[in-house]
Chain A
Amino acid sequence: MDIISTKDLCYSYDEKMALDHVNFNIPQDSVTAVLGGNGAGKSTLFLNLNGLLKPDSGKVYYNGEEMKYTSKNVRLLSSKIGIVFQDPNDQIFSDTVRNDIAFGAINMGMEKAKAKQAVDEIARRIGICDLLDKPVHALSFGQKKRVAIAGVLIMKPDVIILDEPTAGLDPAGIKEIFDLITEIKKETHISVILSTHEIDIVPLFCEYCYILDQGRVVFRGTVNELLKDPAILRKSSLRTPRVMHLMEILKKEDHFDVDVTASTISKARKSIKELLSNE
């Protein structure tokens, strides 16, 4: 069953149409990538998904139920569908890590003593125990990102939306964040939605994929389906994964009979090895 879905969702800022009849659905316990160039409408879509923005027309369903925009319901939904914002500085408002992580939990009605325990527990899981008593302004960008994720996970959401989780991180930081997500997913069966420009990561971590272009969905399907039709990526200010690009060139220019849909290093390695052993 779909945990979130939308039907003909439209949203506009002043005159500008940001989302244009978007049909979107997220199966339970899945990882979905939302791709698209800058200004394609990804962030707007996310804010519509957890009720922070009210669509101009169209509907949003959570667990098959139509979303109602009463303030009580919106608050409930935003705890079930957590968003980790792109810039952790936008999200972390408190100067102590502990206070900031507890914020969502206390807002959900958790008692302070319980919230304290919950903070310790989540910090242990994310590996930020040593940061709890540090001032936020002394943290690195990657550390702030983890704190921001902890602040959302403490609300025990069913869905976590990560807006550009890789932006501004170094390669090691990117790997850490994705390892973290994978681990959390294994433990809690949370559904993950993420937007990213790091296309190389998509085939490694994601099952489903959407491409937005000027507020419209131009592709929906599994990642494997997407990789069979790389033209669509280029049309939407994106590119194919580097490995895949290499395989394409090997086939086109050097006439090696490799698998052009191999998008990860391991798949490419397998394909090249097969080719060599056949010869």
Chain B
Amino acid sequence: MKTMNDYAYQSAIKNAHPTLKILFGAIPLVLILLLNSLSVGVFVLTAMGAVTWITGRITIGKYLKLLMIPLTFLILGIIPILFQVSSSDDMLFGIRIGNFMLCSTRENIKNALLLLVKAMSAVSCTYFIALSTTMNDLLYAMKQMKVPKMILSLMEFIYRYIFVLFEEYSKIFVAQRARLGYKNFRTSVVSCGQLIAALFIKTYDKCGRVYHALESRGYSGEIPTLEKDYEKNAALQVSLCLIPVFIIAVYLLEKRWAYWI
């Protein structure tokens, strides 16, 4: 299975300290939501996009494609904000459906645009983390944040077996397709159900063997982890301090000069 996180292994900053990278993504993320400003959104989206593109060794086309992933939700989520049900005097345009009137005002469009920009720039922040920090490093950072050990062990395990089970899933899926398991809606429902059930029974079977394998290496209910040595990254540290300053500056500029937004 190809996941977004796989790009983290090719990132130029994959060995930088994970907490640093998380903060680098999280601080702008929080600021976007708090400041609620269009220009901050545009600024963060561009800045994060650029940083991810430069450090991530990922093509622009691929990055844009990744940005399109939440598109369905975005469209479904924006439409209700773009239109209002009750008619208004300052409406720009409207559609009459039966007894209902859907109309859009300047205010609606402004809100929708703001939400769109905010959401996309927030996504770019999360992507920065996902595309630069490997799962193992994220778990390490979570350990520093005092997330309970049990949850971390559970996560380490789940993460590993996602790939194992997905492989099993793909094998069954191909085998079903090879015998026309998905030729129409009815066979698709049955095949899909069978696939999930088979996967479940396989999962359970695996459980016994995995447990034996753990036990034979002295498992006693705890999963120890080795810490990696992380590289110091001065450029990242400096930008981490500068980015909030820039964001606030952009925000103040907007309030001062472009208050009409």
Q: Do the two chains touch directly in the complex (Cβ atoms below 8 Å apart)? A: yes
Say yes or no: A94-B164 contact (C-beta < 8 A), given A52-B215, A135-B134: no
Q: B159 to chain A: which residues have CB within 8 Å?
A: 95
Query: In the complex the two chains form, what is the Cα distance from A47 to B134 in whole Å?
Result: 35
Pair A93/B9 contact, Cβ less than 8 Å: no
Pair B209/A90 contact, Cβ less than 8 Å: yes
Query: In the complex the two chains form, what is the Cα distance from A116 to B136 in whole Å?
Result: 16
Pair A138/B9 contact, Cβ less than 8 Å: yes
Say yes or no: A107-B219 contact (C-beta < 8 A), given A93-B160, A94-B156, A102-B226: yes
Pair A115/B9 contact, Cβ less than 8 Å: no
Pair B156/A93 contact, Cβ less than 8 Å: yes
Contact with B136, one of A95, A106, A115 (Cβ below 8 angstroms): A95
Secondary structure type dominating chain A contacts: helix
Pair A115/B218 contact, Cβ less than 8 Å: no
Residue A83 at the chain B interface, CB threshold 8 Å: yes
Contact with B216, one of A52, A96, A112 (Cβ below 8 angstroms): A52
Residue A158 at the chain B interface, CB threshold 8 Å: no
Pair B213/A90 contact, Cβ less than 8 Å: yes
Say yes or no: A95-B224 contact (C-beta < 8 A), given A75-B218, A79-B218: no
In this complex, how many residues of chain A approach chain B with their Cβ under 8 Å: the count is 38
Query: In the complex the two chains form, what is the Cα distance from A91 to B214 in whole Å?
Result: 7
Q: A137 to chain B: which residues have CB within 8 Å?
A: 1, 160, 163-164
Residue A104 at the chain B interface, CB threshold 8 Å: yes
Residue A99 at the chain B interface, CB threshold 8 Å: yes
Pair A95/B160 contact, Cβ less than 8 Å: yes
Q: Indicate with 1 or 0, residue by residue over A65-104, a CB within 8 angstroms of chain B CB atoms.
A: 0000000000100110011010101111111101100111
Pair B216/A50 contact, Cβ less than 8 Å: yes
Query: In the complex the two chains form, what is the Cα distance from A134 to B8 in whole Å?
Result: 11
Pair B156/A116 contact, Cβ less than 8 Å: no
Query: In the complex the two chains form, what is the Cα distance from A61 to B44 in whole Å?
Result: 67
Pair A116/B226 contact, Cβ less than 8 Å: yes
Q: Indicate with 1 or 0, residue by residue over A30-63, a CB within 8 angstroms of chain B CB atoms.
A: 0000000000000000010010100000000000
Query: In the complex the two chains form, what is the Cα distance from A265 to B163 in whole Å?
Result: 41
Number of contacts between A and B (CB, 8 Å)?
A: 95
Q: A138 to chain B: which residues have CB within 8 Å?
A: 6, 9
Chain B interface extent, by class = 20 to 34
Interface core residue of B212, B214, B216 (most chain A CB under 10 Å): B216
CB contact list, B138-159 vs A, under 8 A: 156-157, 159
Residue A151 at the chain B interface, CB threshold 8 Å: yes
Q: B6 to chain A: which residues have CB within 8 Å?
A: 135, 138
Contact with A112, one of B1, B213, B227 (Cβ below 8 angstroms): B227
A77 to chain B: closest residue by CB: B216
Q: B227 to chain A: which residues have CB within 8 Å?
A: 112
Say yes or no: A112-B220 contact (C-beta < 8 A), given A93-B157, A135-B9: no
Q: A50 to chain B: which residues have CB within 8 Å?
A: 216
Query: In the complex the two chains form, what is the Cα distance from A262 to B225 in whole Å?
Result: 51
Query: In the complex the two chains form, what is the Cα distance from A102 to B226 in whole Å?
Result: 8
Pair A99/B225 contact, Cβ less than 8 Å: yes
Residue A155 at the chain B interface, CB threshold 8 Å: yes
Query: In the complex the two chains form, what is the Cα distance from A16 to B55 in whole Å?
Result: 59
Min Cβ gap B3→A in Å is 9
Interface core residue of B156, B213, B214 (most chain A CB under 10 Å): B213
Pair B216/A106 contact, Cβ less than 8 Å: no
Residue A108 at the chain B interface, CB threshold 8 Å: yes
Residue B217 at the chain A interface, CB threshold 8 Å: yes
B166 to chain A: closest residue by CB: A137
Q: Indicate with 1 or 0, residue by residue over B182-216, a CB within 8 angstroms of chain A CB atoms.
A: 00000000000000000000000010011011111
B interface residues, Cβ below 8 angstroms from A: 1, 6, 9, 134-136, 156-157, 159-161, 163-164, 206, 209-210, 212-220, 223-228
Pick the 10 closest A-B CB pairs, nearest first. Answer: A107-B218, A104-B217, A137-B163, A91-B213, A106-B224, A90-B209, A78-B216, A89-B164, A83-B216, A95-B160
Q: List 22 A-B contacts (CB under 8 A).
A: A52-B216, A75-B218, A78-B215, A85-B209, A90-B210, A93-B156, A93-B210, A93-B213, A93-B223, A95-B160, A96-B136, A99-B136, A102-B226, A103-B223, A107-B224, A112-B224, A119-B226, A134-B9, A135-B135, A136-B163, A138-B6, A155-B218
